[in-house]
Amino acid sequence: MSADDPVVPPMAAVAVAVVAVSTSAILVELSDAPRVLKAGYRVLFTAAFVAPFAFRERREYAAVSGSDWLVVSAAGVLLAVHFASWFASIEFTSIAASTTLVQTQPAFVAVGAWLLLDERVGARIVGGILVAIAGSVLLSMGDFLTGSAVGPSPTLGNALAVVGAVTGAGYVLAGRSVRQRLSLAPYVFAVYGVCTVVLFAVAVALGLPLVEYPVHEWALFVGMAVGPGLFGHTVVNWALKYVESSVVSVSLLGEPVGSTLLALAVFGQVPGVFTVAGGVVVLAGIAVTTTGRAT
């Protein structure tokens, strides 16, 4: 085995990451804290875990231009809106619908790359996006029209999940150029810093209590950072060195499946037939989109 060979099989790491990110919606639902602070503490604690690695590469910050700092700031704001809207979504619709709709992010990345970065979009990508949109409509409207939707306001929750997908895509697109000049740890630490400031500024403006929470809430905050944050997204970023991005993207479509099964086990949330059918169509469309981008 050469020095460049991974100690852990990359696909095994991806499998761990999929399981880890599948717990995100469950941890959010278990917490009774205000949604802005759920997001704020998740990002804050994740930034704290990344900080030692960013400090080790801190000299890279000196080479960051003013325009790049603007991009980093924009990425942080978009990430804050992504987390806040998606966390809110989980309160209003089913976990199955919310996690499936927020996973439409790759389709919005493809559209944004075409509009903003002049990247080529082939017929397969367009077809995949249209399939994903059709699935989203089926998922969002079917159970609502039949009266079998889960959640106090499924239409609002589904819309918030789509906002989370759009802003998540914006976060990815904003960081593309900067990531070519800044290593992963310094970049995400800077973005998480901006994101944390935005979320806590909103919390202060709303007059929300910042620290008066029981022990189990703090455990959930840390769990969101360690599970979905470190073992989820951080492991995904590590695996991308060894596994094609299209394979990783399609693998992450297992998150809605895992989240749905966990929601069934923990909360007894049984997704409606249209949620299941629409979710399958959405995931198929995103699979076509992500694999189409690799060809």
pLDDT in tens, 250-270: 777 788 888 888 988 999 988
Is the dihedral angle over the CA atoms 237, 19, 293, 168 positive or is it negative?
negative
Among 50, 48, 21, 45, CA closest to 188 = 50
Q: What is the pLDDT of residue 294?
A: 53
Domain ranges of the chain: 10-112+150-271
Q: Is residue 285 over pLDDT 70?
A: yes
pLDDT digits 0-9 by tens, 69-94:
999 999 999 999 999 999 999 999 88
- Contacts of residues 116-122 at CB distance under 8 Å and 24 or more positions apart, as own/partner, are 116/173, 117/173, 117/176, 122/292, 122/295
pLDDT band at 8 (very low <50, low <70, confident <90, very high): confident
pLDDT digits 0-9 by tens, 129-169:
788 888 877 776 766 666 666 777 888 999 999 999 999 88
Stretch 173-190: mean pLDDT, rounded?
A: 84
Percent residues over pLDDT 90 in the chain: 42
Please answer whether residues 278 and 99 qualify as being in contact, where contact means their C-beta atoms are separated by less than 8 angstroms: no
Q: Retrieve residue 214's tokens.
A: 């029981």
Burial of 126 from C-beta contacts in 10 A (0-12 / 13-18 / 19+): middle
Q: How far apart are CA 38 and CA 24, in angstroms?
A: 11
Q: Is residue 189 over pLDDT 90?
A: yes
Q: Is residue 38 over pLDDT 80?
A: yes
Q: How far apart are CA 251 and CA 232, in angstroms?
A: 12
pLDDT band at 2 (very low <50, low <70, confident <90, very high): low
Among 5-9, 20-24, 39-43, 284-288, the minimum mean pLDDT is found in: 5-9
Q: How far apart are CA 63 and CA 136, in angstroms?
A: 42
Report how far Cα 261 is from the mean position of its chain's Cα atoms: 18
pLDDT digits 0-9 by tens, 207-229:
999 999 999 999 999 999 999 98
Q: Retrieve residue 157's tokens.
A: 């929750």
Q: How far apart are CA 295 and CA 291, in angstroms?
A: 7
Among 200, 203, 175, CA closest to 189 = 175
Q: Is residue 110 over pLDDT 90?
A: no
CB neighbourhood size of 176 (10 A): 16
